[in-house]
């Protein structure tokens, strides 16, 4: 057996975690030979529920799950964490402005960034899921100067998975033939699902599909608004597919990326090769050697369509960063 790794999860009593924790404990995320210690963060609100989650995990008798610790103090729960999956966040309520949401959640991510800075393993990889996830990740990153900025991610893998599904359906192929799909920008309706560089069976998706109007006017808004469309049907936001995409995002960092392919994750724009403003967390195409780190893939074709859309998402994130400058010290 390998040495157990500590995986800390916030919002652990929530819907997404209810799917994700069992995947992690089963070995499907970090590998069948990787023992896990789960540190689950809740709050006064969720104390009882968190005990229930721990009971269910224990009753599942997962051979790889060596310990489950629960608590409401990030300084205890993030201790020695090698991975921090930050899922808990206050949902947007009726009449609430985006800036109010940024402020309320921002406070949570200041506290959690500081706690990670103080007690997490120095190589800790942080994946922020709670919305607005790009800017929450920025806040956590800026409050954790002891950690490598390259170890902070915001989740856009669900958007990538959604884009792959829609391209496969349109082309009438199975989705494992769709590759090289990038989500650029913010995990919001300004996100840019990149059909220009996407491939189907190794050929340009644009040529295989042969319908630019569909790609621009149907595919793009379908992906941008898929989250809201699902809430209308289900009455709640996506949980199972989000958990799957978090597992995918982690697996992409701990296994080598297949030759010629890439995956999307929102990362620090510092020194990025696409001229995107620095000081924000922006989804881009990345590759990994499988050691938990990544590099941004250079040289994708950025045509006028992409450039204009990417600019709009960049402007949105720059505004969000300005709104929270008092929390990031920038």
Q: Which residues bind ligand NDP (CB under 6 A)?
A: 11, 13-16, 42-43, 45-46, 87-91, 108, 129-131, 133, 155, 158, 187, 237-239, 242
Closest CB to ligand NDP belongs to which residue?
14
- C-alpha closest to that of 131 among 281, 251, 21: 281
Q: What are phi and psi of 266, to 5 degrees?
A: -90, 125
> Residue 306 is inside which H or E element, if any?
helix 304-323
Give the E-state strand segments of the chain in sequence order.
5-10, 36-41, 65-71, 83-86, 125-128, 152-154, 178-179, 182-184, 192-194, 199-200, 203-204, 263-268, 281-287, 295-296
Distance CA 116, CA 234 (A): 34
- As annotated, the active-site residues are 187
In the complex, minimum distance from the CB of residue 280 to ligand NDP, in angstroms, rounded to a whole number: 16
DSSP track, 260-290: T--EEEEEE-TT-TT-PPSSSEEEEEEE--S
Residue with token string 């989705």:
175
Give burial (CB, 10 Å; 0-12/13-18/19+) of 193.
buried
Nearer to ligand NDP, 121 or 238 (CB): 238
Sign of the alpha-carbon torsion through 243, 272, 212, 262: negative
Question: CA angle, corner 71, sides to 76 and 86, nearest 5?
Answer: 80
Sign of the alpha-carbon torsion through 244, 36, 6, 253: negative
* Bridge partners, residue 267, by sequence: 282
Nearer to ligand NDP, 79 or 199 (CB): 79
Distance CA 87, CA 12 (A): 7
My answer on whether omega of the bond before 27 falls inside 30° of 0, hence cis, is no
């Amino acid at each position: 057996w390998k040495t157990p790794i500590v995986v800390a999860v916030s919002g652990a009593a929530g819907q997404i975690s209810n799917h994700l924790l069992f995947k992690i404990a089963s070995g499907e995320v970090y590998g069948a030979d990787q023992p896990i210690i789960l540190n689950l963060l809740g709050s006064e609100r969720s104390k009882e529920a968190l005990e229930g989650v721990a009971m269910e995990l224990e009753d599942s008798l997962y051979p790889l799950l060596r310990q489950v610790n629960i608590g409401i103090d990030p300084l205890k729960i993030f201790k020695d964490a090698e991975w921090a999956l930050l899922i808990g966040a206050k949902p947007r309520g009726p009449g609430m402005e985006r800036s109010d949401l940024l402020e309320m959640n921002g406070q949570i991510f200041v506290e959690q960034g500081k706690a990670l800075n103080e007690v997490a393993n120095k190589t800790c990889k942080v994946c922020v899921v709670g919305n607005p996830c790009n800017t929450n990740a920025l806040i956590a990153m800026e409050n954790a100067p002891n950690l490598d900025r390259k170890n902070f991610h915001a989740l856009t893998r669900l958007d990538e998975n959604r884009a792959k599904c829609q391209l496969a359906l349109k082309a009438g192929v199975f989705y494992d033939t769709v590759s090289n799909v990038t989500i650029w920008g913010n995990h919001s309706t300004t996100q840019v699902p990149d059909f220009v560089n996407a491939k189907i069976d190794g050929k340009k998706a644009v040529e295989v599909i042969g319908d630019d109007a569909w790609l621009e006017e149907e595919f793009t808004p379908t992906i941008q608004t898929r989250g809201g469309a699902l809430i209308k049907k289900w009455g709640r936001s996506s949980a199972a597919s989000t958990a799957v995409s978090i597992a995918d995002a982690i697996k992409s960092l701990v296994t080598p990326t297949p030759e010629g392919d890439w995956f999307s994750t929102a990362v620090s724009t510092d020194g990025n090769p696409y001229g995107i403003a620095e000081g924000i967390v922006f989804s881009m195409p990345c590759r990994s050697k499988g050691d938990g780190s990544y590099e941004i893939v250079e040289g994708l074709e950025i045509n006028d369509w992409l450039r204009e859309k990417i600019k709009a998402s960049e402007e949105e994130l720059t505004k969000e960063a300005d709104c929270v400058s008092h929390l990031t010290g920038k």
